[in-house]
Amino acid sequence: MIRIDFDHSYARDLPDACAPVQPERPPAPTLLYWNAELAQELGLDSGQADAAELAAAFSGATLPAGAKPVAQAYAGHQFGGLSPSLGDGRALLLGEVMDRNGQRRDIAFKGSGRTPFSRRGDGKAAVGPMLRELIIGEAMHALAIPSTRALAVTATGETVYREQALPGAVLTRVAASHLRVGTFQYFALRGERDMLRRLADYTLARHYPELACAEQPYLALLQAVAERQAELIARWMHAGFIHGVMNTDNMALSGETIDYGPCAFMDVHHPSTVFSSIDSGGRYAYGNQPAIAQWNLARLAETLLPLLDPDEPKNAVPAATAVIEDFAERYQTHWLQQARRKLGLSQAQDIDQELAEDWLALLARQDADHTLAWRRLADAAEGQDQTLTQLFNDPAAAAPWLTRWRQRLDAEPQAAAERAAALRQANPLYIPRNHLVEEALAAASDHGDMGPTLALLDALRQPFTERAGLERYTLPAAPEVAQGYRTFCGT
């Protein structure tokens, strides 16, 4: 039996925020993926467990000893519309562990069957969407973007029905926590102030213990969450990542990226890029993500007003509003800091903001690939412009900006070779290209072939280091393949 030293602080401290549920037993679990590196990081004792034992333990067939699964309650704004009662309709928190760095982390199932929050859903998941979450989460982790991660993916041996019949799967997800903006909304909408305070105190203790003794700890909590989100969204934007469903129930208070549904990475750089099939209005388009993060934080701020001023919550509006209004500046600070690194600038100058913004505007006008254009700045730093300019509709269009960039680099102390090396460590070569993700998912779902998924994961684990034989993982899809590409939620 798999032994995990579980704790259950969430269920113990916040029993009204969850409901005990047992996962449904899958008929024939088979291990598709086991993240041995992450298991070691978590300090899990899997002993001499073989693939069959791991499949049973991480599918719900035989739970790891010490697991006490619960479904968590939360509300959420979904595409701007408020749903007062959502909750884990197909997820279960098994418990928490202290990892080797002393950090408390959740271990949870996704796709393990119905819960009290399932409404009309079956609580199940299919192989394809669970492998997408694995691939994108591991890619984000390798890119140093805070993210939930997959410990295991297990095929259940049963069929789930969506638009078509699909093989079922359970994902085992690891997160700093599953606390969301929607968790606070759930209790604020019910007017349960005592529960709201307990939830805020739990969040402070778990993620921001240094703020517990602040003069205004709940205002400090809002500021800290805003700061982490500002940095996170800036990282998304520089990576060309589009979450696709930035509902308030998908914003984690830990500052991690959570819930990889219709997500994707851009090929051609365009701010209006949307991949999600359910985002017909473009609410969560690439260029809208910073503003949506700010909007979500405003919803969090609203839930905290009764804690900020219990006697007259409306009196707390100015202080909370100031935090929300400050988000744009927080985001811009992180965005520019990261842009300087990606442009090879170690020292700050006032012209850097305009230089970076003009670079992205150039990419959009020239239909240039987001990832490769950034990456090939390293070649340009060594005087080899062609690999960069060939990405543009009009190669000559890059010349004026490159002249400005080189003039700016003249103020930097690095030699050309040192600068190029730094640029290659700042700008990845390998990202989860959409056509390669789809290829991997189709092979696993349709043919039971995990080979393409494992090969793609291998490329993504070292995104900054060019390796021979991986050339196909650097290239975007052909235009006729990329045109009209859409991603789906998978629920």
Do the annotations mark residue 3 as ligand-binding? no
Catalytic (active site) residue 50:
no
Do the annotations mark residue 427 as ligand-binding? no
Amino acid letter at 256? E
Q: Is 48 exposed, middle or buried (0-12, 13-18, 19+ CB in 10 A)?
A: exposed
| Inter-residue contact 423 to 379 (CB < 8 Å) | no
In DSSP terms, 65 is beta-bridged to 3
Do the annotations mark residue 235 as ligand-binding? no
Whole-angstrom distance, CA of residue 475 vs CA of residue 469:
13
- Cβ count near 146 (within 10 Å): 17
Residues 6+ apart with CB under 8 A from 447: none
Amino acid letter at 149? R
Do the annotations mark residue 89 as ligand-binding? yes
Q: Which two three-digit tokens encode residue 195?
A: 């529960």
Amino acid letter at 373? A
Residue for token pair 């750089």: 269
Do the annotations mark residue 259 as ligand-binding? yes
Residue for token pair 């418990």: 95
Amino acid letter at 76? G
Do the annotations mark residue 201 as ligand-binding? no
Do the annotations mark residue 113 as ligand-binding? no
The string over 417-447, giving b where at least 16 C-beta atoms fall within 10 Å of a residue's C-beta and e elsewhere, is: eebbbbbbebbbbbbbbbbbbbbbbebbbee
Do the annotations mark residue 110 as ligand-binding? yes
Whole-angstrom distance, CA of residue 384 vs CA of residue 389:
10
Say which of 88, 106, 249, 369 is annotated catalytic.
249
| Inter-residue contact 453 to 386 (CB < 8 Å) | no
The dihedrals phi and psi of 410, each to the nearest 5 degrees, come to -60, -25
Q: Is 47 exposed, middle or buried (0-12, 13-18, 19+ CB in 10 A)?
A: exposed
- Residues of the binding site for Mg(2+): 250, 259
- Residues of the binding site for ATP: 87, 89-90, 110, 122-123, 173, 180, 259
- Residues of the binding site: 87, 89-90, 110, 122-123, 173, 180, 250, 259
Catalytic residue IDs: 249
